[in-house]
Chains A and B, each alone.
Chain A
């Protein structure tokens, strides 16, 4: 069946390089490392594009963030999403409950304007805050069922069938729409945007909204960086010549037993 899929994404600092905090200790400062879309959500966008390509409907994206977060929305538009919404706000002042409330407010507003979101996808957790909560809190806000940590999904007969890894193996859920699924990286390979895709994305008008309420915050006192661990590495040698020293260590550690 055709399903309108909304993917909620988050602009996060690229954590492949050194982490720097803002002066007030309230957020990770990404100004030097750059920003990216949280990895689980890149996969959620891909799943949304696949679902709508297979069965029809529209894949749209939403983020709560500052004006620069439009970059992440345009990246999603470039790989197949067709509509985007920016709830413009300073994200570090919004806790998981605040973000869930704002997403719910947009979903309700869209419904009132005639656009339904049958399936809402989010990342399992964000790469920076690691809260693990927004999708679940959104399910209570909207009174919709939620499946957590799915790697693949399909829409079949008014239901979403989602699969993910549980403690005993691959778990399958079959849940009636409208529903919410949080996505884990690993089930699909996000596609790279093509040049025509990027050109098309530039032309899409991004809907802008303001938050529906003041945030109550994340109960954060401050963020700190762990103290640097002094390097105590013992260099065993260079190149192939180091092999005997390596095997000495393997013997010492008792891992060479047959």
Chain B
């Protein structure tokens, strides 16, 4: 059995990364002769979520609730996952490669005394169970053996494209109210301040992102970029150089230690494309780079490029957009 942690969006629907996780789990299931895929969800499973889980081939949905898991705690939630694992007799426990998925699987692996593979891209064989995962922000790959049970891993974002199953699962909901030891609840969330709309939340979900790097030249070099962002209804994302210099706040940073984006269009301006930045933007469908260096990694990896100084190119683009809009 394969147990997959499913995370919810604020509206109660399944997060895209979780649907990718279920798609990955089904591939693993098919390779293993069709072993069932089960899901574990913290909090209520609404009708729409249940339908989605059925469409993605889930056999049983373990809906975990109760006072002990009402507020998040890594150790407490992991202990609940392990009790579900026991009930479902799972030999694989996996989660999406989100911050929370990583944290939960690290707790699960530590408690079970097994290895964990973070950011898995693919599996190379079941006997022994061998996976390939991203390291160095995706700039290198590591083949790793998971020869203990349960095999614990997280799935890298966009490792597979989320796709419903050919035949739906039953998605029977089983309510589970775990008992959690007091010591596992010591590090528990006390309070949550909801994100302000402008504080980075738009960056992750933006359809278009305008990027700015060292080429902006300083904290005053973002005016034309902000205008382009506004004209396109886009979000502004910056490189680590920019936040390290204090030109822009960290919540705008795209990269390995910032936000990972996957827009339809990314327009990196004055960004050379260092590994840390590429780790955060490589999932963009189309990249249109603006850079003075035609040999920079960002230009050579882009779909389209303009060679030139962003301070000349971006104002000209803004004027052209305004001219066409009349």
Contact = CB atoms under 8 A, between A and B. Distances in A.
A239 B190 CA distance: 53
Contact of B103 (A97, A136, A173, A250): A136
A196 interface: no
The binding surface of chain A is classed by DSSP as mixed
A57 B105 CA distance: 34
A19 interface: yes
A83 B72 CA distance: 35
Name B's interface SS: mixed
B229 to A, nearest CB: 12
A131 B118 contact: yes
B139 A19 contact: yes
Contacts of A189: 244, 246
B300 A239 contact: no
26 contacts: A13-B136, A15-B275, A16-B275, A97-B110, A127-B136, A129-B142, A130-B119, A130-B136, A131-B116, A131-B118, A132-B116, A146-B74, A167-B7, A169-B194, A186-B243, A218-B144, A220-B144, A221-B143, A221-B144, A224-B141, A236-B306, A239-B312, A242-B316, A246-B317, A249-B304, A253-B286
A253 B208 CA distance: 10
Given A19-B139, A233-B302, A247 B321 contact: yes
Interface stretch (A48-56, A174-182, A199-207): A174-182
For chain A, the bracket of interface size reads: 35 or more
Interface in A203-248: 218-226, 229, 231-247
Nearest to B325: A258
A247 B324 contact: yes
Nearest to A234: B304
A147 interface: yes
A188 to B, nearest CB: 10
B137 A15 contact: yes
A193 interface: no
A168 B130 CA distance: 34
B28 to A, nearest CB: 18
Contacts of B264: 253, 255
Given A15-B136, A166-B72, A226 B141 contact: yes
Interface in A139-186: 139-140, 143, 145-149, 165-176, 179, 184-186
B80 interface: no
B301 to A, nearest CB: 7
